[in-house]
């Protein structure tokens, strides 16, 4: 079997209804995994696209706004070999005006839910003695400060640190924990930036690759980290940013 194949593996991808999460789900399915496409809103379109390309998938509802309840449901989905924590939210405001409610909402989905899902996944994987793969979706704001997004920046710095400590603790149990940090990707979330000629030009001017990333760029990196090709990769944060951070 190819070291880049995932045949026989079961993968849960959160936030798989659109954008990067949808691309990750499609990529894992194309590599042979059975994908559980999870989201608060319907992932039926993602499942239909996977079926059209000859893959195997099912849609599941998972609301990460209640992290403990979401983690408690992980056992309902059967044995999982792969967990991709992609779902995330962002709230923008000047930091002096940032509300506690917005802070809590972002931290619950972006960090607390990631921790609890990882914990539930690892407990089951260790009990089975079969190992597994976790890929968390970090951000350029795992390394930079940004502006007007204090909770998002804090949460994504947290994802980077959490990825490393979990890798340290679980590597001996055969669970590889890594993260992918996307750069500027052409999705619905960046549509306004791309539609602003001046802002888009500023962004492109700093990206050595000279283009916006595509969701498939992230899907390829995640698929690699889940595949046998990455057996000795753990605790890594893979920047997929066209060279943005190297600039």
* pLDDT exceeds 90 at position 193: no
Give the pLDDT confidence of 161-186 residue by residue, as tens digits.
999 999 999 999 999 999 999 999 99
How far lies 93's CA from each of 58, 97, 138, in Å? 37, 6, 21
Alpha carbon distance 43, 50 (integer Å): 11
Alpha carbon distance 246, 90 (integer Å): 25
Tokens 């000047």 belong to residue: 94
- Contact by Cβ (8 Å): 137, 155: no
Output the pLDDT for position 1.
Answer: 67
pTM of the predicted model as reported, rounded to 2 decimal places:
0.97
Give the pLDDT confidence of 230-246 residue by residue, as tens digits.
999 999 999 999 999 99
Does 2 map to a domain? no
Q: Show the domain range for 65.
A: 10-246
Share of the chain above pLDDT 70, in %: 100
Residues serving a catalytic function are: 152
Give the pLDDT confidence of 9-26 residue by residue, as tens digits.
999 999 999 999 999 999
Q: What is the CATH number of the domain that holds 36?
A: 3.40.50.720
Q: How many residues does the chain have?
A: 247
Does 4 map to a domain? no
Structure tokens at 10: 């079961």
Give the pLDDT confidence of 26-54 residue by residue, as tens digits.
999 999 999 999 999 999 999 999 999 99
Domain count, the chain: 1
Alpha carbon distance 27, 24 (integer Å): 5
Does 5 map to a domain? no
Does 167 map to a domain? yes
Query: Taking Cα atoms as reference points, which of 105, 100, 82, 87 lies closest to residue 12?
Result: 82
């Amino acid at each position: 079997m190819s070291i880049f194949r995932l045949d026989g593996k079961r993968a849960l991808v959160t936030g798989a209804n659109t954008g990067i999460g949808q691309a990750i789900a499609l990529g894992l399915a194309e590599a042979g995994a059975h994908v559980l496409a999870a989201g608060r809103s319907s992932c039926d379109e993602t499942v239909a696209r996977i079926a059209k390309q000859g893959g195997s998938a099912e849609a599941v509802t998972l609301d990460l706004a209640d992290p403990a309840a979401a983690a408690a449901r992980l056992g309902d989905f059967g044995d999982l070999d792969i967990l991709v924590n992609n779902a995330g939210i962002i709230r923008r405001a000047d930091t002096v005006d940032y509300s506690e409610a917005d802070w809590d909402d972002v931290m619950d989905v972006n960090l607390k839910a990631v921790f609890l899902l990882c914990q539930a996944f690892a407990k089951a994987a260790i009990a089975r003695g079969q190992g597994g793969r976790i890929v968390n979706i970090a951000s350029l704001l795992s390394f930079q400060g940004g502006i007007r997004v204090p909770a998002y920046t804090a949460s994504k710095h947290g994802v980077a640190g959490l990825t490393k400590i979990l890798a340290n603790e679980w590597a001996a149990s055969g669970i590889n924990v890594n993260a992918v940090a996307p750069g500027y990707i052409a999705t619905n979330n960046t549509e306004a930036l791309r539609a602003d000629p001046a802002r888009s030009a500023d962004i492109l001017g700093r990206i050595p690759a000279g283009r916006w990333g595509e969701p498939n760029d992230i899907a390829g990196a995640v698929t690699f980290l889940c595949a046998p090709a990455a057996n000795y990769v753990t605790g890594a944060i893979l920047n997929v940013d066209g060279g943005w951070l190297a600039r």
